[in-house]
Amino acid sequence: MSGTFTKSMARNVFYGGTVFFILLFLALTFDSMQALPKRDNRQALTEQVAHGKKLWETNNCIGCHTLLGEGAYFAPELGNVYVRRGPEFIKAWIKAQPTGTPGRRQMPQFHFSDEELDALVAFLKYSSEIDTNDWPPNVEG
């Protein structure tokens, strides 16, 4: 950066470049929003699924698990757990916690009603049917 490239030129490049890439990002966002209905499984978004998502959030499941690869890395991926384990296993598992096995990582008991367990399973089923470009690589997540 020698004498010919001045501070005010640098500043102008900053403003110009930033505005350009913000606009490009907004354009890509707009295009994504048009493409999402075919990919995000929104036709499966029932009241029950929405209730399941709320339970997922208000019990902070993401504080131990990943969902589509995002969250915490302490416990298994759950975006595809519906495929890996199926609905009955999932409900039985949640009800049986904590295992109390000495030294093993523990999952809390959340005292869900049967209706709440069904909502959570519905949410996990909905999540597993989102088009994720074939992620995860295999069923173990």
Partner 1 sequence: MQYKSQAVAKPYFIAAIALFVGQILFGLIMGLQYVVGDFLFPAIPFNVARMVHTNLLIVWLLFGFMGGAYYLIPEETETELYSPKLALALFWIFLVAGALTIVGYLAVPYATLAEFTGNDILETMGREFLEQPLITKVGIVVVALAFLFNISMTVLKGRKTAISLVLLMGLWGLAVMFLFSFYNPSNLVLDKFYWWWVVHLWVEGVWELILGALLAFVLIKVTGVDREVIEKWLYVIITLTLVTGIIGTGHHYFWIGTPGYWQWWGSIFSALEPIPFFAMTVFAFNMVNRRRREHPNKAATLWALGTGVMAFLGAGVWGFLHTLAPVNYYTHGTQITAAHGHMAFYGAYAMVVLCIISYAMPVLRGRAANSDKSQVLEMWSFWLMTVSMVFITLFLTAAGILQVWLQRFSDTPQAFMQVQDQVSLFYWMREWAGVVFLIGLIAYIASFFVKGEQEPAAA
Q: Tell me which residues in 76-135 interact with partner 1 (CB under 8 A).
A: 76-77, 98, 100-106, 108, 110, 126-127, 130-133, 135
Compare residues 3 and 137 and give the one whose CB is closer to ligand HEM. 137
Nearest residue to ligand HEM by CB is 72
Contact status: 74 vs ligand HEM (CB under 6 A):
yes
Q: Which of 28, 72, 92, 139 binds ligand HEM (CB under 6 A)?
A: 72
Q: Per CB under 6 A, does 106 bind ligand HEM?
A: no
- The candidate with the shortest Cα–Cα distance to 128, out of 60, 33, 40, 35, is 40
Long-range contacts of 65-69 (CB under 8 A, 24+ apart): 66/141, 67/127, 68/127, 68/130, 68/132, 68/135, 69/135, 69/136
